[in-house]
Structure 1
């Protein structure tokens, strides 16, 4: 009935799979867990290979990195059951009823998103930017997410019927970092497929160090710029960018960004990053691309 699909890259997800496997044993229908490794380093695959020792679990190793969109599409091809549960490998279970909560919610819905949380307290100062940004921008109750269900779609954890997923698939032209899930949410809305958000969160455990997260953010903004025509209505940063362009302030914002970039980085890479400074950094970076 249920295929749990976990793409992973350079992350040890054995503990997550073991806990999902334990919960699966309590349910009265067949479940498989498929983990696909997207070309990770050898030392980071060794422990994950133990997944193959668990019943109805498989660790699949790809020879090269194919990207976040393609690996999810690949997993859907390998799935044997009609309901797919996608989970990112850097997730941590919170509820003992996580699987049951999802399965109960799918009865009258096509797509379910469970949400995410960040464990308290901050584990280390080197993760402060990713941690505080996640709390500020990503932690949302189901009530909040259901106000804009498609814009709030996240591939971090979602349940979907296989037939529906295979009709859409993730857009593999999003080969860089970021926003393939935004494009997927747009397709769901275009096709009139209902997205239901519930309070069934996972912890997001795989925090990047501050410098690494800033680099990924810049890469994501470059992806956003390339696909801006598709994503404008769904991404706040693009909406802000379009307002700047409307009032012909793009060059001014880009100039101010270049002049203050060092000061902004000093703040946002500190123990207590200012999220407004981070927001301006992202807007300035986007304006500066042009």
Structure 2
């Protein structure tokens, strides 16, 4: 009935799978857990190979990195059951009824999103940017997410009927990091497929160090630039950029960004980074890309 699909890259997720497997044993319907490794380092795959020792679980190793979109499509091909529960490998269970609550919610829906939380307190200042950004931007109640259900779609954790997923798939033209889930939410909306947001969160445990998260943010904005025609009506950063361009402020902003980038980075890597400065950093980075291309 339920296929749990976990893409992973350079992250040890044996503990997550063991907890999901434990919950699965208490339920009355069949469950499989498939983990696909997207070309991780050898030392980070050793423990994950123990997943194969658990009943109805499989650890699949891809020879090369295929990317966030393609690996999810690959897992959907391998799945045996009609319900697909996608979970990122850096998730942590909160509720003992996580699986049951998801399956109950899908009965009258095509897509269900459970949400995410960040464990308190901040584990270390070296993760402060990812941590405070996540709390300010990604933590949302089910009520708040249901106000804008498609814009709030996240591939971190969602349940979908297999026939629905196979009609859409993740857009494999998105390479690198970022916005493949944005495009998936847009496609759901275009097709009139309803999303139900519920309160069934997981912890997001895989915090990147500040410098690493800044680099991933820049990669995400580069993805956004390459796919702006597909995303401009749905992504706030592009909407803001279009307003800036309308009043011909993009060149001054790009210039200001270049002059202040070092100062901005120092704040963003501090113990309490400013989310307003982070928003400016992203807009300035996009303006700079646009000006240079």
Q: TM-score, normalised by structure 1?
A: 0.99
Paired with 1:155 and 1:270, the residues of 2 have a C-alpha distance of 29
The answer to whether 1:180 aligns with 2:180 is yes
Give the corresponding residue for 1:111: 111
Paired with 2:241 and 2:95, the residues of 1 have a C-alpha distance of 39
Within a 5 Å distance, the mapping from 1:34-113 to structure 2 comes to 34-113=34-113
Partner deviation per Cα, 1:241-271 (whole Å, 9 max, x = no partner)? 1110111100011011111111111100111
Paired with 1:146 and 1:246, the residues of 2 have a C-alpha distance of 31
Give the corresponding residue for 2:126: 126
Give the corresponding residue for 1:137: 137
Partner deviation per Cα, 1:62-94 (whole Å, 9 max, x = no partner)? 000000000000000000000000000000000
Superposition deviation, residue 239 in structure 1: 1.0
Give the corresponding residue for 1:23: 23
Superposition deviation, residue 232 in structure 1: 1.3
Paired with 1:128 and 1:118, the residues of 2 have a C-alpha distance of 12
Paired with 2:5 and 2:131, the residues of 1 have a C-alpha distance of 25
Give the corresponding residue for 1:289: 289
Superposition deviation, residue 4 in structure 1: 0.1
Partner deviation per Cα, 1:127-185 (whole Å, 9 max, x = no partner)? 00000000011000011011110011000000000000000000000012100000000
Partner deviation per Cα, 1:17-42 (whole Å, 9 max, x = no partner)? 00000000010000000000000000
Gaps of 5+ in 1: none
Paired with 1:258 and 1:66, the residues of 2 have a C-alpha distance of 33
Paired with 1:229 and 1:67, the residues of 2 have a C-alpha distance of 21
The answer to whether 1:260 aligns with 2:260 is yes
Paired with 2:181 and 2:63, the residues of 1 have a C-alpha distance of 24
For the residue of structure 1 that corresponds to 2:232, the secondary structure is helix
Within a 5 Å distance, the mapping from 1:123-202 to structure 2 comes to 123-202=123-202
The answer to whether 1:11 aligns with 2:20 is no
Gaps of 5+ in 2: none
Paired with 1:46 and 1:139, the residues of 2 have a C-alpha distance of 32
Paired with 1:242 and 1:200, the residues of 2 have a C-alpha distance of 36
Give the corresponding residue for 2:239: 239
Paired with 1:188 and 1:76, the residues of 2 have a C-alpha distance of 17
Superposition deviation, residue 236 in structure 1: 1.1
Paired with 1:10 and 1:266, the residues of 2 have a C-alpha distance of 28
Paired with 2:220 and 2:134, the residues of 1 have a C-alpha distance of 15
Paired with 2:100 and 2:115, the residues of 1 have a C-alpha distance of 15
* Consecutive aligned runs of 4 or more in structure 1 exceeding 6 Å deviation: none
Superposition deviation, residue 215 in structure 1: 0.3
Superposition deviation, residue 112 in structure 1: 0.2
The answer to whether 1:279 aligns with 2:284 is no
For the residue of structure 1 that corresponds to 2:233, the secondary structure is helix
Paired with 1:139 and 1:90, the residues of 2 have a C-alpha distance of 16
